[in-house]
Amino acid sequence: MQYFVYILKSDKSDVFYKGYTTDLSRRLFEHNNGLSRYTSDKGPWKLIYFKEFETKKEALIEELRLKKLNRRSIEKIILEFNHDNSLS
Protein backbone atom coordinates (compact mmCIF):
# COMPACT_ATOMS: atom_id res chain seq x y z
CA MET A 1 0.00 0.00 0.00
CA GLN A 2 1.19 3.51 -0.81
CA TYR A 3 0.84 6.46 1.54
CA PHE A 4 0.72 10.10 0.53
CA VAL A 5 1.43 13.28 2.42
CA TYR A 6 -0.29 16.24 0.83
CA ILE A 7 -0.86 19.97 1.08
CA LEU A 8 -4.10 21.60 0.02
CA LYS A 9 -4.69 25.32 -0.42
CA SER A 10 -7.88 27.30 -0.19
CA ASP A 11 -7.65 30.53 -2.17
CA LYS A 12 -10.90 31.66 -0.56
CA SER A 13 -9.56 31.37 2.99
CA ASP A 14 -5.85 31.73 2.09
CA VAL A 15 -4.93 28.75 4.27
CA PHE A 16 -3.04 25.49 3.82
CA TYR A 17 -4.07 22.08 5.05
CA LYS A 18 -1.55 19.28 5.53
CA GLY A 19 -2.50 15.63 5.82
CA TYR A 20 -1.83 12.04 4.81
CA THR A 21 -3.90 9.42 3.02
CA THR A 22 -3.78 6.26 0.95
CA ASP A 23 -6.13 7.73 -1.68
CA LEU A 24 -5.52 11.32 -2.83
CA SER A 25 -8.60 11.55 -5.06
CA ARG A 26 -10.97 10.34 -2.36
CA ARG A 27 -9.42 12.60 0.25
CA LEU A 28 -9.63 15.69 -1.96
CA PHE A 29 -13.28 14.84 -2.64
CA GLU A 30 -13.92 14.61 1.12
CA HIS A 31 -12.27 17.98 1.76
CA ASN A 32 -14.27 19.67 -0.98
CA ASN A 33 -17.61 18.14 -0.02
CA GLY A 34 -17.85 18.92 3.67
CA LEU A 35 -16.74 15.46 4.83
CA SER A 36 -13.73 16.71 6.79
CA ARG A 37 -14.50 18.81 9.86
CA TYR A 38 -11.60 21.28 9.72
CA THR A 39 -11.83 21.97 5.99
CA SER A 40 -15.60 21.90 5.53
CA ASP A 41 -16.17 25.68 5.56
CA LYS A 42 -12.86 26.90 4.15
CA GLY A 43 -12.83 25.51 0.59
CA PRO A 44 -12.78 24.97 -2.25
CA TRP A 45 -9.48 23.15 -1.88
CA LYS A 46 -6.80 22.56 -4.48
CA LEU A 47 -4.10 19.89 -4.24
CA ILE A 48 -0.80 21.75 -4.52
CA TYR A 49 1.74 19.26 -3.15
CA PHE A 50 2.06 15.56 -2.50
CA LYS A 51 4.77 13.04 -1.77
CA GLU A 52 4.50 9.26 -1.81
CA PHE A 53 5.84 6.92 0.90
CA GLU A 54 6.18 3.16 1.22
CA THR A 55 5.14 2.99 4.88
CA LYS A 56 2.55 4.66 7.06
CA LYS A 57 5.24 5.49 9.61
CA GLU A 58 7.30 7.43 7.03
CA ALA A 59 4.21 9.33 5.89
CA LEU A 60 3.19 10.26 9.43
CA ILE A 61 6.69 11.50 10.24
CA GLU A 62 6.64 13.71 7.13
CA GLU A 63 3.12 14.96 7.87
CA LEU A 64 4.21 15.99 11.36
CA ARG A 65 7.28 17.74 9.96
CA LEU A 66 5.13 19.71 7.51
CA LYS A 67 2.63 20.67 10.20
CA LYS A 68 5.45 22.21 12.26
CA LEU A 69 6.65 24.45 9.42
CA ASN A 70 5.74 28.11 9.13
CA ARG A 71 3.92 29.52 6.11
CA ARG A 72 7.09 30.76 4.43
CA SER A 73 8.67 27.30 4.62
CA ILE A 74 5.50 25.66 3.26
CA GLU A 75 5.42 28.12 0.34
CA LYS A 76 9.06 27.31 -0.45
CA ILE A 77 8.31 23.56 -0.53
CA ILE A 78 5.35 24.19 -2.83
CA LEU A 79 7.39 26.37 -5.21
CA GLU A 80 10.11 23.72 -5.44
CA PHE A 81 7.53 20.98 -6.00
CA ASN A 82 5.77 22.95 -8.72
CA HIS A 83 9.08 23.72 -10.40
CA ASP A 84 10.13 20.06 -10.31
CA ASN A 85 6.74 18.61 -11.32
CA SER A 86 4.92 21.38 -13.22
CA LEU A 87 1.81 20.79 -11.06
CA SER A 88 0.23 24.23 -11.17
User: Which domain covers residue 76, as residue numbers?
Assistant: 3-85
**Segment 32-72, tens digit of pLDDT:** 999 998 898 888 999 999 999 999 999 999 999 999 999 99
Task: Sheet with 45-53: list strands edge to edge.
Answer: 15-21, 3-10, 45-53
How far apart CA 21 and CA 6 sit, in angstroms, is 8
The domain that holds 11 is classified in CATH as: 3.40.1440.10
Q: What is the pTM of this model?
A: 0.90
CA distances from residue 88 to 40, 44, 79, 83 in whole angstroms, order as listed: 23, 16, 10, 9
* Tally of domains in the chain: 1
